[in-house]
A = this chain, B = another copy of it.
Amino acid sequence: MRYEKGHKDATRERIVDVASKLFRQNGVAAVGLAGIMSDAGLTNGAFYNHFESKEDLVQAVLASALNRRETKLKTASGLEGIIRDYLSSSHRDGAGGGCPTAALVAEIARHSKTTRDGFTEKVSAFIPLIASQLAKGSAAERRRIAVAIYGMMIGTLQLARAVNDRKLSDEMLESGVAAALQLAGLAD
């Protein structure tokens, strides 16, 4: 073969990584395939050697990014660290490498059933992972709190990103951290 073994897989992964960053930074609708391929060091014609369509790429990107998030959640040392990390200024300012849910959840709601299925599956896996980090309460209570903390982190991060006032944005992150810790039973 012209290319060494694993070359195609590596190229595909590179396309997914580039698209993942661009999608999270600018949204799926605002990012074109030509730009993705060019950032990946290829020409646009090569795209269809790797994916059936843009929607297919979206699914691959979500699966990849959500899996990484899941691994991060699994290996995190504690819920307080997860919360502080999530609602940090560096996460706010680095959407391209950050949580795909916060960046893309509204768009996902408008995508194909298959895309939403994949997202639903991963979100379903996140909830017990967060719940298992909670110290207090029945299983049902922990699950309920986990969902609320997840929702709050996503919404607060998005607000902090949209708002055009650094002080207000910082305040939002801090308020989110405090409330999440309170819900988790970790408040001072």
Contacts and interface: CB of A to CB of B under 8 A. Distances in A.
Given A103-B106, A178-B144, A117 B156 contact: no
A116 B163 contact: yes
Quickly give the copy total for this chain. Answer: 2
Contacts of A168: 120, 123-124
A164 B114 CA distance: 9
28 contacts: A27-B106, A29-B29, A105-B106, A106-B161, A108-B162, A109-B158, A109-B162, A116-B162, A116-B164, A120-B163, A120-B165, A143-B175, A144-B175, A145-B175, A147-B176, A148-B152, A148-B156, A148-B175, A151-B172, A151-B175, A151-B176, A152-B152, A152-B179, A154-B155, A154-B159, A155-B155, A182-B183, A183-B183
